[in-house]
Amino acid sequence: MSQTENHARRERPSPPDGPRSVDRPDRIELTGLTVFAHHGVHEHERVHGQEFVVDLIVEFDMRSAAESDEVADTVDYGKLALTTVEHVRRDPVNLLETVAERVASAILTDGRIDAVEVTIHKPQAPIETAFTDVTVSIRRTQIGQR
């Protein structure tokens, strides 16, 4: 693909009243949200718990919020944080995958959100060798979207 074709493929057509935008969606990123919870397959993880760190990328069209400058027209990142904490803390489960799916499902109940990426970090995972971090990441979209 030529550079011109690649450039044309990434750009959306200009709306009649606004500038062009590239194919990357509008998004809020919330990183480093630390939550103490009791997830894991080992009994000591369930009894003593540990810190989990969550990163979110939430995709939605921000144009109406930018135009109105009203919080009601955007996704409130404070509420995203509280929703995430609530769903990470509740009922212990074995797998990070389950926690990530739980968080993504809760966030997608807001119909304005097109997609969410959830990364769960488990920096104190019970691994018998030196490591920095373990993460599980999932990306989910509203039903009917890719």
Active site residues: 122
Beta strand 27-37 with 50-59 is antiparallel
H helices of 1-146, in order, are 3-10, 43-48, 63-68, 77-89, 96-107
End-to-end CA distance of the chain: 23
Structure tokens at 70: 């009203």
Task: Give the separation between CA 79 and CA 32, rounded to whole angstroms.
Answer: 15
Q: 125 with 88: CB under 8 angstroms?
A: no
Q: 84 with 54: CB under 8 angstroms?
A: yes
